[in-house]
Amino acid sequence: MAKILIVDDDQTIGFMLRDILEFNGHEVVVSQEPKKTKENIRDNNIELVLLDKLISGVDGTDVCADLRKDDEFVDLPVIMMSALHNVDEICKEAGATEFLSKPFDMETLNSLVTEVLKNH
Amino acid sequence: MQKDLRIKELEEELENLKDQENQTSEFRNKEGNNINSELNSIEFTNSIIENIQAPLLLLNNHFEIIHANRAFYKTFQTTKEEIEGRDIFKIWSHEENITGLKDKLKCIISENLQLSNFEINQSFENIGEKWFKINGSKIQNPQKSSDYILLTLEDISVQKKNEENLKSNEELLQEMIYSSTSLIALLKGPEFIIEIANDAMKNMWGKGPDVIGKPVFQVVPEVEEQGIKELLEEVYQTCKPYHAKERPVYHNVNGEIIKSYFDFTYQPHCNADGKVVGVGVIAQDVTQQAILNERIKASEKEFREMLDFMPHRITVTDKDGNTKYCNQSWLDYSGCTLTEFLERDSSEFTHPDEREKIEKAGEDCLSNEEDLYMELRIKDKHGKYRWHLCRGIPIRNENNEIISWITSSTEIHKLKEEEKRKEDFLKLVSHELKTPVTSIKGYVQLLLSMLHQENTPDNSVPVKPYLQRIENQVERLIRLIAEMLDLSRIEQNELELRKDEFNLNKQVEEIVEDLIYSNKEIDIHLQHDFECNVKADRDRIGQVIINFVTNALKYSPNSKRVDIRIFEEKENYVAISVKDYGIGIDEKEQQQIFKRFYRISGNKDETYSGFGIGLYLSNEIIERHKGKIKVNSEIGKGSEFIFTLPLNNN
C-alpha cells in the first residue's frame, strides 16, 4: 500500500478519491493548493500524486512540469486527471506517468494506481 | 477635173489678191508715205499670218478654203493639198450645217455681221471631238465683187472640259450639302445672314425655305441667349474655328422648348483677301448618344455610390493582381487614400501566414474554374488583423482569357469570435457537467463495492455521508443546468421577472448565512450603511449576490475574505458591493467580463473553471431591473463588483 497525494480544487472529487483509495488500503492526503505540492510530497513521503489539470489559478501541467524539473521528483509517479477532452497528450508531454479521464470507473482508477505503483 | 479647175480658179484669185496688195503698196509709196517697203511686201504679210499661233482660215463666199495658216494645219493635222479649195463644211463634217455655223457665215457675207466668240463642238476627222471658239469677219475685195471671210479659231476643248468638271463638282457638292444628314449652314456677314441652310438644318430649326437671306437670330431667336451668339462672333472676329462636343441647345419647336445635344464646328469663311466674310456651320445632332451617355454616367454613379455604401470591401484588379478600383469601405478600413491604396500591393493587407494559402487558392480557382472562397485575416488601419470572408471571381473576355478579378471581403471577425467563444463554452459546459458526475459516479461505485463485500458489516458502510455528497453534486448539476436554461431564455428574450417588495438587508443576511453554512472557511464581512426595501425579483437578485460571492472566492486562491456592503447611491439608488482580495482583473478584461462565455484567463487558457455565464446572467438581471453593474479592480489587489437597484422601481 502507498502514500498518495491528491491535488484537486474540487473538494468533493478530492474526498471521493480519498474514500476510494483509502477503502483499497492506501494512505491519502488531499490538497486544494497546487502551489504546495512539493511541500506536501516531502512532508508526507508521498509515493504517487493524482493531479487535476484544471485547478483554480494554476494549470496542472505546469505543476507536473515543475516536479519533473526537480531531481528529487523526476521519477515520482504522477497520474494527471481531467474532464477536458483531448488533453491526455498535453499532460503526458508535461511529464505525467499516466492520464485518467473524468468521469472514470472505480476499477479503472484502482488498476491504474496499482500498475503505476508496481512499475516504480 | 472639175476639182482641178476649181483649184486653178482659186489660185488665180489668190494671185489677184497679192497683185492688189502690191498695187496698194506702190500707191502708198507713190504718195510719199515713209513706210518701209519691206513692211508692205506680201511676203511679210504672209509671214505674219503663218506665224500667228492661232489657226486662221480665209474662205470665199462659197465657204471654200482659199488659205489656211500653219497653225491651222497643225491643229487639224491636215495639209494644204487636203483642204485648199474645198468646202469647209465638207471637210469638217458630212452635215451641211455645223450647229448653225453656216447661217452665221452667210450673215457675215450678206449682212456684214461680225462673228464673235461662236463656239462649236464637233468630232473632227483627224483630231476627234473638240471645242472651238470662232471669230470671223468679212474682207472685201475692192477689185473683185467677191467677198472673203477671215476666220480665227481657238481650241477651247481643255477649258470646256474644266468648266464641265467644275460644274459637275459644284452640283455634286450642292447635292451632298442638301442631302446630308449633318446640319449645314453658311452665315454671311456680321449679322449672320443665312446664305445656305440644308434641309437637315431647316428641319432642326422647324423652318421652311424662307429662312434664306434672314439673320440667323431672327430665325432662331431662342439660341441667341445660350452663348451661341458670342461663339459665332468670336469665330467671325478671330478667324479661328470653334469645335463643340455634346453641347446642349434648347430649341423652340412649335412653341415647345426641346433640349438637344450637338457636336458642331464653326468654321470661318474667308474671301480671296483672307478677310472673314461669314461662318460655316456643320453640326451633328447627337441627342440620343448624349442621353445614353448621361444615362450611363448616372448609372455608373449610382453603382459607385452603391458600392461605397456597402459594408463589404470590394476591389477590382487587373489580371496580374494590380488594383484598379476599391470602394469606400476599403479606404475606411485601411485608412488609405485611393491613390495610396491603388499603389500598394494587395498582399500587404493579408496576414503573412495566409499568403501561401491565398496563392494556392488562386491557382486552384484557375485550374478548377471555381470561384475563390476563403476566410482570411486582413490588416486594418491600426495594423490589427480581422477575419474576413473573401470571395473572388475572374472576369473573362470573349476568348475566355481572364482580364480582371473582382473580390469582395465581408468582415466576419465578430462571428469568428462568437464561434470561438461558443466552442470554448461547449468545452466548458462539458467539463463543468462532468465534474459533479465524476464525484457521483465514484461514490455510487464505492458504495456498491462496499455493500457487496461480504466481510463488511452493514453498519460500518458510511451510506449517509456518501449519499449527502451525491445529493450535493446532483444539486450542483441542477444549478448548472438551470444556468444554461437561463442563458437560453435570455437568448429567446423570455427571462421573466417576478417583482415583489422585500427588505434587501434581510435578504443579503440570509444569503450570507447560507454561504457560511455550506463553506465554513469563508470570512464574510457584512456592512449595512443603508437600509431599504426594494421591489424586485428576490430570487434573481439573490442569484446575482451569490454569483458575486462565488466569483470573489473563485478568483482569490490565497484569501477567503469577502467584504459585502450595502449603501445608498445617488439619484435614489441602493448599491451592493462585493469585494475580494484575489488576483484582480486588468482594465482591458474589465470591459469584457459581462459578455457571454467570458472567463478571466490566467497564464494559460482555461485556467479557471466555472461557467462563463454567471456575470453575463447577473448583468442581464440587473439591467432588466433598470439598475447598473460595474467593477473596480486592480491586478494583484482584488476586485470590487457593484450593482445598483432603483429605490422607486415599479
| SS3 assignment, position B353 | helix
Model-wide pTM > 0.90: no
| SS3 assignment, position A42 | helix
Helix H or strand E segment including B175: helix B157-179
Check CB contact under 8 Å for A102 and B435: yes
Between positions 91 and 130 of B, the ones with CB within 8 A of A are none
Would you state the cell numbers that stand for residue A30, as one nine-digit string? 488531499
Would you state the cell numbers that stand for residue B413, as one nine-digit string? 471577425
Would you state the cell numbers that stand for residue A108, as one nine-digit string? 479503472
Tell me the mean pLDDT in the region B156-164: 92
Confidence (pLDDT) at B606: 41
Check CB contact under 8 Å for A103 and B427: no
Between positions 609 and 638 of B, the ones with CB within 8 A of A are 609
The Cβ of residue B466 has, within 10 Å, a number of other Cβ atoms equal to 19
Q: Does B437 touch chain A (CB under 8 A)?
A: yes
Please tell me the least confidently modeled range out of A32-46, B356-370, B451-465, B506-520: B451-465
Listed in sequence order, the DSSP H helices in B31-63 are 42-51
Phi then psi dihedrals of residue B85, to 5 deg: 80, 0
* CB distance B139 to B112 below 8 Å: no
Please tell me the least confidently modeled range out of B123-127, B334-338, B352-356: B123-127
Q: Mean pLDDT score of chain B, rounded to an integer?
A: 85
Check CB contact under 8 Å for A59 and B439: no
Confidence (pLDDT) at B550: 86
Kindly list the residues from chain A whose CB atom is less than 8 angstroms away from the CB atom of residue B554: 56
Check CB contact under 8 Å for B435 and A105: no
Q: Rg for chain A (alpha carbons), in Å?
A: 13
Beta pairing partners, B139: B148
Confidence (pLDDT) at B2: 53
Please tell me the least confidently modeled range out of A65-69, B276-280, B463-467: B463-467
Question: Which residues of A lie closer than 8 Å to B, measured between beta carbons?
Answer: 9-10, 12-13, 15-17, 19-20, 23, 33, 54, 56-59, 62, 82-85, 102-107, 109
Q: CA nearest A32 in B: which residue?
A: B557
Listed in sequence order, the DSSP H helices in B180-281 are 199-205, 216-219, 228-238
Q: Residue B597 — pLDDT band, cuts 50, 70, 90?
A: low
Tell me which amino acid residue A21 is: L
Would you state the cell numbers that stand for residue B137, as one nine-digit string? 469677219
Pairing of strands A54-55, A27-31: unpaired
Long-range Cβ contacts of B385-388 (<8 Å, 24+ apart): B385/B351, B386/B411, B386/B413, B387/B411, B387/B412, B387/B413, B387/B415, B387/B416, B388/B313, B388/B412, B388/B413
Check CB contact under 8 Å for A23 and B469: no
Q: Does B217 touch chain A (CB under 8 A)?
A: no
Beta pairing partners, B504: none
How far apart (Å, rounded) are the C-alpha atoms in residues B447 and B123? 146
Q: Nearest CB to B446: which of A12, A23, A84? A: A23
Question: For residue A103, is the peptide bond before it cis, meaning its omega torsion is within 30 degrees of 0?
Answer: yes
Phi then psi dihedrals of residue B150, to 5 deg: -105, 120
Would you state the cell numbers that stand for residue B585, as one nine-digit string? 482583473
* CB distance A52 to A8 below 8 Å: yes
Pairing of strands B276-285, B183-188: antiparallel
> B47-71 in b/e burial notation, b at 16+ Cβ within 10 A?
eebeeeeebbbbbbbebbbbbbbeb
Does B575 have pLDDT greater than 90? yes
pLDDT digits (tens, 9 = 90+) for B432-450: 889 899 999 999 999 999 8
Confidence (pLDDT) at B36: 53
Confidence (pLDDT) at B607: 41
Tell me the mean pLDDT in the region B256-277: 92
Confidence (pLDDT) at B37: 55
**ipTM metric:** 0.94
Q: Residue B282 — pLDDT band, cuts 50, 70, 90?
A: very high
pLDDT digits (tens, 9 = 90+) for B496-529: 888 999 999 999 999 999 888 877 888 999 999 9
Helix H or strand E segment including B602: none
Check CB contact under 8 Å for B603 and A62: yes
Tell me the mean pLDDT in the region B180-205: 92
For cell 482555461, name the residue: B606
Pairing of strands B313-318, B402-411: antiparallel
| SS3 assignment, position B266 | strand
DSSP state of B433: H
* CB distance B438 to A102 below 8 Å: yes
Q: How far is CA B124 from the centre of its chain?
A: 70
Check CB contact under 8 Å for B431 and A54: yes
pLDDT digits (tens, 9 = 90+) for B1-52: 455 565 566 566 666 655 655 555 554 455 445 545 555 566 777 788 888 8
* CB distance B222 to B204 below 8 Å: no
DSSP state of B145: S
Q: Residue B101 — pLDDT band, cuts 50, 70, 90?
A: confident
Confidence (pLDDT) at B415: 92
Q: Residue B428 — pLDDT band, cuts 50, 70, 90?
A: confident
Tell me how close the Cα of B450 comes to any Cα of chain A, in angstroms.
8
Does B284 have pLDDT greater than 60? yes
Say how many CB pairs under 8 Å bridge A and B. Answer: 89
Q: Residue B604 — pLDDT band, cuts 50, 70, 90?
A: very low
Q: Residue B229 — pLDDT band, cuts 50, 70, 90?
A: very high
pLDDT digits (tens, 9 = 90+) for B294-315: 999 999 999 999 999 999 999 9
Mutation site, B428, B445, B581, interface A, largest A CB count within 10 A: B445
Q: CA nearest A105 in B: which residue?
A: B442
From the list B70, B160, B67, the residue with the least C-alpha distance to B120 is B160
Confidence (pLDDT) at A35: 87
Would you state the cell numbers that stand for residue B346, as one nine-digit string? 494587395
- When comparing pLDDT for B620 and A6, which is higher? A6
